[in-house]
Amino acid sequence: MPMCPATFNDSLETDGIAILPRDKSAVTPPKPTHMSDAMFSDEARRQGRSLGIPEFKNSISMVVGVDGLPRNFCLAQSAGYGLDAKAEEAAQQYRFAPATKDGQPIRVRITVVMRFKLN
């Protein structure tokens, strides 16, 4: 998964993609209807135990379409140790009730933080 750019040039006016929270007052955010848990990678489990790291996290940016499906994934913050790929696999299975503006579904860019905790 590619790293995200420093800033996105999205806007409702130019490419039809709202960005939250910037457009929050005009947009009802998407609501998750299904979210899959990301699986822990073997590498992260080994490294976490050997280094005493109890939790890893990453952030994934995605566009939620008018159909509620996520797409255009990029990595805003990496967790490393194979967890970024695991997070993308889980995020591809997410489903949403789409964001709306004036009662009409719109595309919106959101960022999801995924946490991986060692037990």
**67-106 pLDDT tens trace:** 999 999 999 999 999 999 999 999 999 999 999 999 999 9
Amino acid at 91: A
**15-71 pLDDT tens trace:** 999 987 776 678 999 999 999 988 889 999 999 999 999 999 999 999 999 999 999
Contact 28, 99 (CB under 8 A): yes
pTM: 0.90
- Burial bucket for residue 82 (CB in 10 Å: 0-12, 13-18, 19+): middle
Residues recorded for the chain = 119
Cα first-last separation, the chain: 27
- Burial bucket for residue 48 (CB in 10 Å: 0-12, 13-18, 19+): buried
Overall CATH class of domain 17-117: alpha beta
Q: Which residue has the tokens 């194979």?
A: 82
Alpha helix ranges (H) inside the chain: 42-51, 83-91
**What are the residue ranges spanned by the domains of the chain?**
17-117
